[in-house]
Amino acid sequence: MKFFEKTIASKEIYNGRILNLKVDEVELPDGGTSFRELVDHKQGVGILPVRGNRIIFVRQFRKAIEKVILEIPAGLVEAGEDPKEAAVRELQEEIGLKPLDLHFLGEMWPSPGFTNEVTTLFMASQFVIEPRKQDDDEFIEIVEMPIRTVRALYLKGKFSDAKTACVLGRFFSLM
């Protein structure tokens, strides 16, 4: 069986700064048709900052889930920007550290059932301190934890943010 859906028609519903919404009519592998509600989302980056035997996280409120969560520093890749450049900028903005090394840990799709959003994951372990230039609409708390504590929390399923759980899994598999 071929696993492909041919787009027959596409209707844009919303065009925003971070994402666009559309509905595609598709031809299914068996010849039938269906509709797909899709989110075209800007590319993101997530960075695991490891300083000595500690990992640095940010705690912030996420309106979509109405919760405060602990996650890795992350952000969007701007037009024309390389993901590594975005990672450096985001770390400096969110935790006041400029990475001297960035190690690529792969990419992940948070929810490919409805969005093309891709997050490029990095790890950094060497830094220089630079003053934070936090975004005006961003309110975050910096949280540092020993790696052994993070691992215990990870194994108990305490990190529910997809990019954070994914990068921690990759990091712990390298240990």
Question: Is 98 a residue whose pLDDT tops 80?
Answer: yes
130 or 109, which is more confident: 109
Question: Is 138 a residue whose pLDDT tops 90?
Answer: no
Q: Which domains does the chain have, with CATH numbers?
A: 6-41 (no CATH), 44-174 (3.90.79.10)
For range 1-20, the mean pLDDT: 94
- The confidence band for 7, taking pLDDT boundaries of 50, 70 and 90, is very high
Q: What is the Cα–Cα distance from 11 to 150, expressed in whole angstroms? A: 44
Residue 126, pLDDT score: 96
Question: Is 127 a residue whose pLDDT tops 90?
Answer: yes
Do residues 9 and 127 lie in contact, with contact meaning Cβ atoms separated by under 8 Å? no
170 or 174, which is more confident: 170
- The confidence band for 11, taking pLDDT boundaries of 50, 70 and 90, is very high
Q: What is the Cα–Cα distance from 162 to 111, expressed in whole angstroms? A: 9
What is the per-residue DSSP string for the chain? Answer: -----EEEEEEEEEE-SSEEEEEEEEE-TTS-EEEEEEEEE--EEEEEEEETTEEEEEEEEETTTTEEEEE--EEEPPTT--HHHHHHHHHHHHHSEEES--EEEEEE-S-TTTB---EEEEEE--EEE------TT--EEEEEEEHHHHHHHHHTT---SHHHHHHHHHHHHH-
- The confidence band for 175, taking pLDDT boundaries of 50, 70 and 90, is confident
For range 31-59, the mean pLDDT: 97
Residue 91, pLDDT score: 95
Question: Is 163 a residue whose pLDDT tops 90?
Answer: yes
